Chain A
């Protein structure tokens, strides 16, 4: 049960083996994706045809590498743009929410808190269609009443950003609120006592304290946005973010090019996660 309680060797060994097996299960799919990115073959499957960098740097058919594949590069750019917008928005609103719930008591606070959590328990695809339906209702109304055709309200990047923002904000609010709760209010009072104004006190004392959480929320929001599929699928227009672009390719059949993109994604997000951990440690 716990190390201080004597237990038979057999049970310990079995338990250890189970845990090892579990981590093998976790690692296996990612490992094969990574390995086959270097297979010198048209398909990401055995047999192993030898090692190659072509799926990253190749520039002639049939082996065009990631760095020469324009649609994929453009999709990465789109994803990064969407990710940045969503992260900025959701961290901003998340911070505001965290302060609101931490600093103010108001009627309906409990209701608002539950509403704030709601996006976590709404399936992503339902969030997507509800926003799709509503935006087109607004767009249609604008057309009927004023003959305006608001393109931004048709499926496209703006809707993708809003759709992802709608549930990622809950996550960033929770991350920031957790840290804000640990903040000792007397530090702010000390700043006021030492002659700072209310906003200055928040800016010079509270925000630096929140920094790890702000960075953490930003990175998590960026990763979630980059990876999001369900909500994005319903709202996407002509500019497809990376996951959608890859999905379309995968439906047509897979080549190690997809493995190469996936590997880059893994490396990228691991690096981001490490950055975040490094900041958290400080």
Chain B
């Protein structure tokens, strides 16, 4: 078992009275892609700046390859950072930008030129060394910013929402490319973002952060299908959400009556919930099956029927909103890919159902 590349223990940072980061511990194994996902202001940038050395933690320790770096100045730490707006040096050309860190190490000129050439080759932009920063496209700048760090062969590369400034199409493309670059360089990446799809697509492990604390650390699949807290369930992916009272418990299955009068069944996945507790239940739109008749959904233990109120066409991710007859808010349901319901109209009568296993229940009041 090798030491983790990056290890934070009981990391806490207070600014005056406010606690930005509270008792956060995690480790990142070598060569993995680790993301910290959270809404803005949750403290993820603070963690990143502490790792880079631009903020000193109030308490706790940061170890890189087993060695504490708290007393190491930012310019001596074996971590490098890709800044939010990339912070490429506008006064230098691309080769000078990439060679900057190598010059600081005092490498001979010939070697710098060679290494810069190599890394440019690797990011697939071999001939741009003499260009100016503002002559590059957004995606090219992105790659140069990463190359500028990677040429120094850091133990850990920190990335602070580097895709935020790009337009949607490019962002989608860069997600795949970043993942490929990480594999090519075989370096540990720590990536922070508020965009869940970035985190879900790229990461080996994701920490969901809220109000200074980690809510859950796990793989993308874990977070999506087995959220451990109501915050994670609500933050990662879309969900239909009800709040109600627990009417009965049998094993893992709960019976709930929602505030607007729906009878629902869900699963607590081992969390402690008792009769008369107030609970929240989350159901993903794609977990709900659609049927023309009550017969089609009869094998589910949650069944509702109602009228389609809106069609939200979005290609493969098209959904409908339906209002249950038995009352309550509109429910979002994903249309099946088969095209079976492609001609559904507003006002049409539909039946929906889902298994209680797909409804994640949490004690209410935490989120």
Instruction: Please report A residues at the B interface, Cβ cutoff 8 Å.
Output: 4-6
Partner-binding segment picked from B53-61, B217-225, B261-269: B53-61
In the complex, are the beta carbons of A4 and B56 less than 8 A apart? no
Q: Which 4 A-B pairs have the closest CB atoms?
A: A4-B54, A6-B73, A5-B74, A5-B54
Q: Please report the C-alpha to C-alpha distance between residue A6 and residue B52 in the assembled complex, in whole angstroms.
A: 12
- A/B interface sample: 10 pairs, CB < 8 A: A4-B49, A4-B54, A4-B55, A5-B54, A5-B73, A5-B74, A6-B53, A6-B56, A6-B73, A6-B74
A-B contact count (CB 8 A): 10
| Nearest A-chain residue to B53, judged by Cβ | A6
Q: How far is the CB of B286 from chain A (nearest CB, A)?
A: 43
Instruction: Please report B residues at the A interface, Cβ cutoff 8 Å.
Output: 49, 53-56, 73-74
Q: How far is the CB of B239 from chain A (nearest CB, A)?
A: 38
Instruction: Collect the chain A residues with CB atoms within 8 Å of residue B55's CB.
Output: 4
Q: Please report the C-alpha to C-alpha distance between residue A4 and residue B15 in the assembled complex, in whole angstroms.
A: 13
Q: How far is the CB of B280 from chain A (nearest CB, A)?
A: 40
| Nearest B-chain residue to A7, judged by Cβ | B73
| Nearest B-chain residue to A3, judged by Cβ | B54
- Contact residues of B: prevailing secondary structure: loop
Instruction: Collect the chain A residues with CB atoms within 8 Å of residue B54's CB.
Output: 4-5
Instruction: Collect the chain A residues with CB atoms within 8 Å of residue B74's CB.
Output: 5-6
Q: Please report the C-alpha to C-alpha distance between residue A149 and residue B173 in the assembled complex, in whole angstroms.
A: 81
Instruction: Collect the chain A residues with CB atoms within 8 Å of residue B53's CB.
Output: 6
Q: Please report the C-alpha to C-alpha distance between residue A2 and residue B107 in the assembled complex, in whole angstroms.
A: 27
Q: How far is the CB of A281 from chain B (nearest CB, A)?
A: 28
| Nearest B-chain residue to A6, judged by Cβ | B73
Q: How far is the CB of B53 from chain A (nearest CB, A)?
A: 7
Q: How far is the CB of B104 from chain A (nearest CB, A)?
A: 14
Instruction: Collect the chain B residues with CB atoms within 8 Å of residue A5's CB.
Output: 54, 73-74
Q: Please report the C-alpha to C-alpha distance between residue A222 and residue B143 in the assembled complex, in whole angstroms.
A: 53
Instruction: Collect the chain B residues with CB atoms within 8 Å of residue A4's CB.
Output: 49, 54-55
Instruction: Collect the chain B residues with CB atoms within 8 Å of residue A6's CB.
Output: 53, 56, 73-74
Q: How far is the CB of A172 from chain B (nearest CB, A)?
A: 32
Instruction: Collect the chain A residues with CB atoms within 8 Å of residue B73's CB.
Output: 5-6
Q: How far is the CB of B59 from chain A (nearest CB, A)?
A: 17
Instruction: Collect the chain A residues with CB atoms within 8 Å of residue B49's CB.
Output: 4
Q: How far is the CB of A2 from chain B (nearest CB, A)?
A: 9
Q: Please report the C-alpha to C-alpha distance between residue A4 and residue B49 in the assembled complex, in whole angstroms.
A: 9
| Nearest B-chain residue to A4, judged by Cβ | B54
| Nearest A-chain residue to B75, judged by Cβ | A5
Q: How far is the CB of B16 from chain A (nearest CB, A)?
A: 15
Q: How far is the CB of A9 from chain B (nearest CB, A)?
A: 14
Q: How far is the CB of B337 from chain A (nearest CB, A)?
A: 44
Q: How far is the CB of A3 from chain B (nearest CB, A)?
A: 9
Q: How far is the CB of B94 from chain A (nearest CB, A)?
A: 24
Q: Please report the C-alpha to C-alpha distance between residue A5 and residue B53 in the assembled complex, in whole angstroms.
A: 8
Instruction: Collect the chain A residues with CB atoms within 8 Å of residue B56's CB.
Output: 6
| Nearest A-chain residue to B56, judged by Cβ | A6
Q: Please report the C-alpha to C-alpha distance between residue A6 and residue B54 in the assembled complex, in whole angstroms.
A: 7
Q: Please report the C-alpha to C-alpha distance between residue A199 and residue B230 in the assembled complex, in whole angstroms.
A: 60
Q: Please report the C-alpha to C-alpha distance between residue A4 and residue B50 in the assembled complex, in whole angstroms.
A: 10
Q: How far is the CB of A8 from chain B (nearest CB, A)?
A: 10
Q: Please report the C-alpha to C-alpha distance between residue A37 and residue B74 in the assembled complex, in whole angstroms.
A: 54
Q: How far is the CB of B83 from chain A (nearest CB, A)?
A: 12
| Nearest A-chain residue to B74, judged by Cβ | A5
Q: Please report the C-alpha to C-alpha distance between residue A89 and residue B259 in the assembled complex, in whole angstroms.
A: 73
Q: How far is the CB of A77 from chain B (nearest CB, A)?
A: 53
Query: 7 new A-B pairs (CB below 8 Å) besides A4-B55, A5-B74, A6-B53?
Result: A4-B49, A4-B54, A5-B54, A5-B73, A6-B56, A6-B73, A6-B74
Q: How far is the CB of A7 from chain B (nearest CB, A)?
A: 9
Q: How far is the CB of B49 from chain A (nearest CB, A)?
A: 7
Q: Please report the C-alpha to C-alpha distance between residue A5 and residue B75 in the assembled complex, in whole angstroms.
A: 9
Q: Please report the C-alpha to C-alpha distance between residue A140 and residue B74 in the assembled complex, in whole angstroms.
A: 74
Q: Please report the C-alpha to C-alpha distance between residue A4 and residue B54 in the assembled complex, in whole angstroms.
A: 5
Q: How far is the CB of A1 from chain B (nearest CB, A)?
A: 10
Q: Please report the C-alpha to C-alpha distance between residue A4 and residue B55 in the assembled complex, in whole angstroms.
A: 6
Q: How far is the CB of B354 from chain A (nearest CB, A)?
A: 50
| Nearest B-chain residue to A2, judged by Cβ | B54
| Nearest A-chain residue to B73, judged by Cβ | A6
